[in-house]
């Protein structure tokens, strides 16, 4: 029996005192975009708040009333949770913030909501990949909500970025909006995360994760394949499982019938 690994972007809700105010803010979001929380993995983040279990119960009930189903709770020991509560959920790595979608007529208000950050809505990558953070490097980080991404790609096509330098070990390029092109090599220990395809004019020795926002049609291209890990739409393969014949040669990787297909480029 084999297990597949798949990563999802979860929305992280961090309840803030007073809870009544926080719920009101949540209601405002639901009112504006009723589908925002539907079919999304949702993590409740109580890290650092030392929340009493009664308050947690209150928050979970409140979310339940709003049909927000929490898949896990981050930042609380599993032994403190009561029966019937979602499981404790460790690990994970923060990604960019999710903007709350807004009807076109209320753009002004949208900025306001994003600015006061209340309630905090952040994307979190589950499960965590590497400990590299984009903040201590010259990595580029842009993020938009998935809804917005879909809207945008439908309207005007994806945005793309070009990195005209080597991506060094420990650096992370995160661009959930579209394609990433690297003119240079991606070193062992570096990673490229793209909503669209990844193009590398150089050696790929690190990790490349394409189509992270659920795009099967994303591909990975490189002029020298020596990757540690490649992934398209959450489906990944590590170097050990690669077909050895393409090692160190130009290659493309695409997603087909729930598998990753490796092909030489000539």
Report the interface residues with other proteins, using CB under 8 A.
Answer: 136-138, 165-166, 168-171, 184-185, 187-190, 203, 205
In the complex, least distance from residue 169 CB atom to other proteins, rounded to whole angstroms? 4
Rounded Cα distance between 9 and 40, Å, is: 8
- Nearer residue to other proteins within complex by CB, 75 or 189: 189
- Nearer residue to other proteins within complex by CB, 128 or 138: 138
In the complex, least distance from residue 141 CB atom to other proteins, rounded to whole angstroms? 14
Strand, coil or helix: 252: strand
Output the 3-class SS for 116-177: HCCCEEEEEEECCCCCCCCCCCCCCECCCCHHHHHHHHHHHCCEEEEECCCECCCCEEEECC
In the complex, least distance from residue 196 CB atom to other proteins, rounded to whole angstroms? 24
- Nearer residue to other proteins within complex by CB, 19 or 201: 201
In the complex, least distance from residue 265 CB atom to other proteins, rounded to whole angstroms? 20
In the complex, least distance from residue 96 CB atom to other proteins, rounded to whole angstroms? 19
Q: In what order do the strands lie in the sheet with 8-14?
A: 72-74, 42-45, 8-14, 120-126, 93-97
- Nearer residue to other proteins within complex by CB, 164 or 257: 164
- Nearer residue to other proteins within complex by CB, 109 or 168: 168
32-39's contacts with Cβ under 8 Å and 24+ in sequence apart are: 32/100, 32/101, 32/102, 32/103, 32/106, 33/100, 33/101, 33/102, 33/103, 33/147, 36/100, 36/101, 36/147, 37/11, 37/66, 37/67, 37/68, 38/67
In the complex, least distance from residue 171 CB atom to other proteins, rounded to whole angstroms? 5
- Nearer residue to other proteins within complex by CB, 107 or 138: 138
């Amino acid at each position: 029996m084999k297990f597949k690994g798949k990563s999802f972007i979860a929305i992280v809700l961090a309840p803030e005192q007073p809870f009544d105010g926080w719920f009101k803010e949540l209601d405002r979001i639901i009112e504006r975009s009723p589908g925002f929380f539907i079919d999304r993995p949702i993590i409740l983040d109580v890290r650092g708040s030392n929340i009493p279990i009664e308050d947690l119960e209150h928050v979970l009930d409140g979310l339940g009333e709003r049909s927000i189903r929490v898949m896990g709770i981050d930042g609380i020991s599993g032994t403190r949770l009561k029966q019937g509560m979602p499981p404790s959920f460790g690990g994970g790595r923060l990604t960019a913030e999710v903007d709350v979608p807004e009807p076109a007529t209320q753009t002004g208000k949208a900025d306001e909501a994003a600015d006061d950050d209340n309630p905090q809505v952040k994307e979190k990558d589950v499960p965590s990949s590497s400990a590299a953070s984009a903040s201590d490097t010259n990595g580029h980080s842009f993020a938009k909500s998935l809804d917005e991404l879909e809207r945008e790609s439908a309207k005007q096509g994806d945005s793309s970025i070009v990195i005209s330098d080597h991506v060094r070990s420990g650096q992370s390029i995160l661009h959930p909006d579209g394609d990433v092109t690297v003119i240079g090599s991606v070193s062992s220990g570096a990673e490229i995360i793209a909503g669209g395809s990844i193009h590398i004019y150089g050696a790929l020795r690190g990790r490349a994760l394409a189509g992270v926002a659920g795009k099967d049609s994303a591909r990975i291209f490189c002029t020298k394949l020596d990757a540690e890990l490649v992934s398209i739409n959450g489906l990944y393969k590590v170097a050990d499982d690669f077909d050895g014949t393409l090692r160190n040669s130009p290659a493309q990787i695409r997603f087909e019938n729930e598998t990753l297909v490796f092909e030489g480029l000539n």
